[in-house]
Amino acid sequence: MSVRVVLVDDQPLVRSGLSVLMAGQPDLEVVGEASDGAEAVRLVGEVRPDVVVMDIRMPGMDGIEATRLITAGAGTARVLILTTFDEDDHVYGALRAGASGFVVKDMALDDLLTAVRVVAAGDALIAPGVTRRLIADFVGRPAGGRVGAPERAPRPVEGITEREREVLTLVGQGRSNTEIAQDLFITVATAKSHVSRLLTKLGARDRVHLVITAYDMGLVTAGHSGPG
């Protein structure tokens, strides 16, 4: 079954390029395009895609508000943010709005296609170099965006085991399942199982939201944000 994709960008050339790129992939199908956030929200409600590739900066409703409305809706679409990472501070707002992943506009085309597939499959730690930079910066910012706020002491996370707490901390540091397995001396399958249980117990959409939970619970701080 193909991954159904909606492309959202105010630049027709960007949408056209992505559409042509995905048209050559047997497992990806572009089912709609939108030029702003409001159009994206309406279109997602109509065509029910699996993944929305969403620009942030658009006229009218921006990608952050559109992401919030889409992820709060009744559908199961996941949002993949398309951004210029080094310039766009709004990426943090998009993360909190429910985005499942981030790609930069100048990344390799094969990596972009992989990102769409990974997000569709329910994972979120894509493009490790970008994601870990995002996490490292994000965990140093409170919700209001002020860097340098006092670090919070860890507090209990209700309903999870001590081992799951350890796994949540490592997820919050940007570790992959393989790295978690190595750190805890367990198998990759066991690490994946722990992550799956955390997603269920904490009601998280994906790993990005486990990162947010780890940060909000004080399990991850600016000084312990994983490898760079």
Domain membership of residue 142 (yes or no) is no
Q: Would the pLDDT of 179 be above 70? A: yes
d(CA 54, CA 40): 9
| Judgement on whether residues 118 and 153 belong to the same structural domain of the protein | no
- pLDDT band, residue 138 (cuts 50/70/90): low
Residue 129 lies in a domain: no
The pLDDT value given to residue 207? 79
Q: How many structural domains compose the chain? A: 2
Q: Is residue 11 part of a domain?
A: yes
Rounded mean pLDDT of the chain? Answer: 81
| Residue 199 structural domain | 149-228
Instruction: Give yes or no: residues 113 and 26 share one domain.
Output: yes
Global pTM reads 0.69
Structure tokens at 135: 């996490």
Length of the chain: 228
From residue 109, give the alpha-carbon distance in Å to each of 21, 25, 130, 159. Answer: 8, 12, 15, 41
Please list, in sequence order, all residues whose beta carbon lies within 8 angstroms of the beta carbon of residue 220, skipping any fewer than 6 positions away: 139, 169, 172, 173, 211, 214
Pair 95, 68: CB distance under 8 Å: no
More confident residue, 126 or 139: 139
**Residue 163: its pLDDT value, please?**
95
